[in-house]
Structure 1
């Protein structure tokens, strides 16, 4: 370990890092970042082509990189891939639950199947991987689990009902799990919940930023998440002040709270949403 600006930072050299959603966006950037820290990376995504592109970039750092095609909403496939990863790497030191999806429809227009799909990827897929590896981490007395949630897990918005529900669930799971690890004496197993505002990866194409709230750069998000792992941070808020703003606004009467959100642009932010073409 080495001394950082705000405390002890872990050395990630030769650690085994599993990243879901590694085929693009911040998943790809995190793979490159962890590889630069000399960590070995198990990269998971449903997009095989994207995975190979990520692997080619990460391998330039000279660490061990392997790819696994997996639909994380399928519990049996997750279990199978987890076994492969254990066989290939011997275990996982850091789990990054990053894969996600968005539909961008109003609740009235969403089908039950679409809502189930959102929950299956954004919540259940993360839970499946967590359940696969947390017992191993408890047994070895250490490990890091990072759940990439969203500011939508703290604040519900129009046209994001299914997405917000999945992210609220993930925030709740992360908080409960963090406290359970402490309660039952597994303090070496660290849980980090990441709640970013919109990251400019194309997933939210057409989203109109709130007043005074520009998109977060993907490289910035990836760097902060890697830093959080090195420092065992329980939360990563992007921007940092967002949690305090939301907490303060929650103290207001509901009508005033809603009106203020509309002033900042929350009510219209998804009006021109298109998302990724693929």
Structure 2
């Protein structure tokens, strides 16, 4: 095609997309059923992972739960069984590729084909870059991004053979917006968001339209991992409201979920506003939390 026809095709698609988005504001989105699906959730012993497991259990999904904490994952499993779900719990350290691969093989052999994978396990250290210890940096990347890759590689082949599945990446607003004293954490979450986007693109290129992808990007959540967080952007989120948004996104096949939703507007501002204006805007948000700061400015 010549460039002029390419431009016309793009403009027609753009107009159609805007009209489609406008219509969807008034038409209820159809939600898919996850009943009977085999759902694997990493980091299921607490926080978002635990609450997400409860939601899938209420929807009659079959569950495989992974967590490094034996007591936590067994408690989650017991509650899911009380809700009527079939559950298998595994103690897995997601910072270790060998444990991930071993547990994945056991799941495939003894339980079945995972059709919904929720990569939720994550770790965080709040400190300036020079005070963050080497092992802390390594562990953040091992759990926050490499574990996503290992689990996806383990379960994606069957999804591709069936052209059916859903891969969920629990990332963070820190995968789009940077903040001081979280250099390694932000880097790992930027990688997680990039993984989600690249995987989505690759599946589309391969024609695997039956495999859906969703990425969750919330701001501070009241899980205790970050001490005394506060921001003028809004209140610290509760786990329940984040999981409610996540489940809605999974059931309606949303690709990117921001919590709160107005973060998507803030992301646009980063591309439109001059750097000086952005610096003032970031100061106005007044994001604070307790962090180890060994290197302070002398200016």
- Cα distance, 1:53 vs structure 2: 0.8
SS of the counterpart of 1:29?
Answer: helix
- Residue 199 of structure 1: CA displacement? 1.4
Relative distance call for 1:48 and 1:234 in structure 2 (3 A) is: same
Matched-pair contact (CA < 8 Å) for 2:57–2:63: yes
Deviations 1:46-90 (A, max 9, x none): 000001111111111212111010111111110110011112321
Alignment-derived partner of residue 10 in structure 2: none
Q: Deviations over 1:19-50 (max 9, x none)?
A: 00000011111111100000011000000000
TM-score normalised to the size of structure 1? 0.92
Count of matched residue positions in the alignment of Structure 1 and Structure 2: 267
1:165 to 165, 187, 211: 187
In structure 1, which of residues 63, 79, 87 is the aligned counterpart of residue 85 of structure 2? 63
Residue ranges of structure 1 left out of the alignment (5+ in a row): none
Kept in 2, the 8 Å contact 1:122–1:166? The answer is: yes
The CA distance in 1 between the partners of 2:237 and 2:136, in whole Å, is 27
- Counterpart in 1 of 2:64? 42
Cα distance, 1:191 vs structure 2: 1.1
- Would the aligned equivalents of 2:181 and 2:291 in 1 still touch at CA under 8 Å? no
**Of 157-166 and 210-219, the range deviating more from structure 2:** 210-219
SS at match of 2:108: helix
Structure-to-structure mapping, 1:32-181, within 5 angstroms: 32-181=54-203
Residue 273 of structure 1, CA deviation? 4.3
List 4+ stretches of structure 1 deviating above 6 A: none
- Range moving further from structure 2, 70-79 or 223-232: 223-232
Deviation at 1:262, TM superposition (A): 1.3
Distance 2:271 2:61 in 1: 41
Q: 1:205: which partner in 2?
A: 227
Q: Give the corresponding residue for 2:37.
A: 15
For the pair shown, the structure with the greater C-alpha radius of gyration is 2
Q: 2:266 aligns with which of 245, 251, 259?
A: 245
Tell me the CA shift for residue 244 of structure 1: 1.1
Contact map agreement 2:45 2:67 (CA 8 A) in 1 = yes
Structure 2: stretches of 5+ with no match in the other structure: 1-26, 293-299
Quote the Cα distance in structure 1 between the aligned partners of 2:285 and 2:233: 8
- Structure 2 CA distance, aligned partners of 1:116 and 1:84? 27
Tell me the TM-score normalised to structure 2 length: 0.86
